[in-house]
């Protein structure tokens, strides 16, 4: 299995910014103003916002070569994949060296700068939002007790991570490399249903990372195990689930369970249910041609105005923009 030669050839070509950086050796700003959420005045750190996800769940780009990239952070999760060559970065103040086939996963808010890349150094940036990680996917990995699982679970449950980044070294059988390069090929080929296919590839990639880079951690507490069960219930029964049903299922007082969910997850039960409905709606909007009215009904909502308002607040765009 090899990387698609046409995609690889395209990635090796000099982009306009690369031509400029090759001549001067100095960084050329590659982000439009609307992609910058803010600048930290004291440290001058750029913070990239959700600009990249206006029409997709996952954004992929080649990192520009021939000049060092300044310190910055993101409001989303980021993977750096070393497709070819090597690179040096400073991630959360620590030196990180990546070789061909290595993958760096960084949490929201993790700062990093990237050293100058040479002609044969191809670094791929893969960006994805928390919403791209499903509870079902995480629950499937529950028994792996891995650092990666904890890392991703914390992102979904709203907790802050003590581990801000993880480095995955190239494995002997190239299993992870094949999946990552399938994602890159699918993205740049721009074929029909590519967004949905890439989302599935991402789940496969994350699962493979857990399988190949298993690191044991302390077992989760009974409270955390209950949270996972409840989140899975919500993800499967979001259309008609209620706090009363959950309280009866797990033999808890309704008010106690409501407070428990809010305390452990950081989000009220009603918000969790609404978020899952919006995620389901988003999946249907981007992968089918069903009328929006049918989708609204399918996810268990009746008030269309409320749906549109909540959808825009969650995805930062209207439903019509998703299908342009």
36-58 confidence digits (pLDDT tens): 655 555 555 666 666 677 666 78
Residue showing tokens 């891995």:
146
Residue 1 has pLDDT above 60, yes or no: no
Residues in the chain, total = 324
CB half-sphere exposure, 66, CA atoms < 13 A: 17
Question: Tokens standing for 266?
Answer: 């950081």
pLDDT band for 80, please (50, 70, 90 cuts).
very high
Q: Quote the tokens at residue 162.
A: 């003590």
| Lowest mean pLDDT segment, chosen from 144-158, 175-189, 196-210, 307-321 | 144-158
The span from the CA of 67 to the CA of 276, in Å, is 42
Torsion from C-alpha of 63, 68, 70, 74, nearest 10 degrees: 20
Mean of pLDDT values over 83-87: 96
For residue 213, what pLDDT band results from cuts at 50, 70 and 90? Answer: low
Has this prediction a pTM greater than 0.75? no
**Per residue, what are the HEC states of the chain?**
CCCCHHHHHHHHCCCHHHHHHHHHCCCCCCCCHHHEEEECCCCCCEEECHHHHCCCCEEEEECCCCCCEEEEEECCEEEEEEEECCEEEEECCEEEEECCCCEEEECCCCCEEECCCCCCCEEEEEEECHHHCCHHHHHHCHHHCCHHHHHHHHHHHCCCCCCCEEEECCCCCCHHHHHHHHHHHHHHHCCCCHHHHHHHHHHHHHHHHHHHCCCCCCCCCHHHHHHHHHHHHHHHHCCCCCHHHHHHHCCCCHHHHHHHHHHHHCCCHHHHHHHHHHHHHHHHHHHCCCCHHHHHHHCCCCCHHHHHHHHHHHHCCCHHHHCC
Task: Judge whether residue 270 has pLDDT over 70.
Answer: yes
- In the structure encoding, which two tokens stand for residue 7, read together? 């995609």
Query: What's phi and psi for 230, nearest 5 deg?
Result: -65, -45
Average pLDDT over every residue of 25-44 = 69
Q: Which of 196, 203, 179, 197 is nearest to 124 (CA)?
A: 179
Residue 288 CA, distance from chain mean position: 22
Could you report the per-residue pLDDT of 98-148, keeping only the tens digit for each? 999 999 999 888 899 999 999 999 999 998 877 677 766 766 665 555 666
pLDDT category of residue 217 using cuts at 50, 70 and 90 = very low
| pLDDT given for residue 23 in this prediction | 95
pLDDT, greater one: 80 or 323: 80
Cα dist. 15→10, 62, 199 in Å? 10, 10, 27
Q: pLDDT at residue 246 above 70?
A: yes
**Residues in CB range of 174: below 8 A, 6 or more apart:** 1, 101
Mean pLDDT on 79-85: 95
Q: Are strands 77-84 and 94-98 parallel, antiparallel or unpaired?
A: unpaired
Token reading at 62: 């080649």
- Rounded Cα distance between 298 and 121, Å, is 47
Give 278-297 pLDDT, tens digit per residue: 888 888 888 788 999 999 99
- The domains found in the chain, sorted by start residue, are 5-212 (2.60.120.280), 222-322 (1.10.10.60)
* Arithmetic mean of pLDDT over the chain: 84
What pLDDT does 216 receive? 46
Q: Is the pLDDT of residue 263 over 80?
A: yes
Work out the pLDDT band at 220, boundaries 50, 70, 90. low
Say yes or no to pLDDT of 201 above 60.
yes
- What does the pLDDT look like over 143-183, one tens digit per residue? 555 666 767 777 776 666 667 888 988 876 788 888 999 99
Predicted local confidence at residue 16, as pLDDT:
94
Whole-angstrom distance, CA of residue 126 vs CA of residue 10 = 17
- With beta carbons less than 8 A apart as the criterion, state whether 231 and 224 touch: no
How much is the pLDDT for 54?
67
């Amino acid at each position: 299995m090899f990387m698609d030669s046409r995609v690889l050839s395209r990635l090796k070509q000099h982009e306009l910014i690369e031509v400029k950086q090759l001549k001067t050796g100095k960084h050329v700003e590659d982000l439009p103003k609307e992609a910058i959420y803010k600048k930290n005045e004291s440290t001058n750190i750029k913070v990239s916002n959700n600009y990249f996800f206006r029409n997709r769940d996952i954004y992929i780009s080649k990192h520009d070569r021939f000049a060092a990239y300044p310190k910055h952070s993101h409001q989303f999760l980021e993977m750096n994949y070393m497709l070819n060559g090597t690179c040096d970065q400073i991630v959360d103040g620590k030196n990180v060296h990546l070789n061909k086939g290595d993958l760096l996963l960084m949490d929201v808010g993790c700062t990093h700068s990237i050293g100058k890349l040479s002609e044969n150094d191809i670094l791929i940036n893969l960006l994805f939002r928390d919403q791209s990680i499903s509870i079902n996917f995480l629950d499937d990995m529950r028994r792996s007790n891995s650092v990666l699982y904890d890392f991703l679970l914390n992102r979904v449950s709203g907790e802050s991570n003590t581990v801000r980044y993880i480095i995955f070294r190239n494995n002997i059988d190239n299993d992870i490399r094949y999946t990552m390069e399938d994602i890159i090929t699918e993205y740049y080929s721009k074929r029909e249903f590519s967004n949905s296919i890439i989302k599935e590839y991402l789940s496969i990639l994350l699962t493979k990372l857990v399988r190949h880079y298993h690191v044991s951690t302390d077992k989760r507490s009974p409270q955390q195990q209950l949270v996972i069960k409840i989140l899975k219930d919500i993800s499967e029964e979001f259309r008609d689930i209620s706090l009363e049903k959950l309280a009866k299922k797990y033999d808890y007082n309704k008010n106690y369970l409501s407070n428990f969910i809010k305390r452990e997850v950081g989000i009220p039960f009603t918000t969790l249910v609404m978020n899952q409905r919006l995620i389901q709606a988003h999946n249907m909007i981007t992968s089918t041609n069903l009328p929006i009215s049918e989708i609204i009904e399918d996810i268990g909502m009746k008030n269309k105005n409320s749906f549109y308002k909540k959808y825009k607040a969650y995805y930062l765009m209207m439903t019509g923009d998703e299908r342009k």
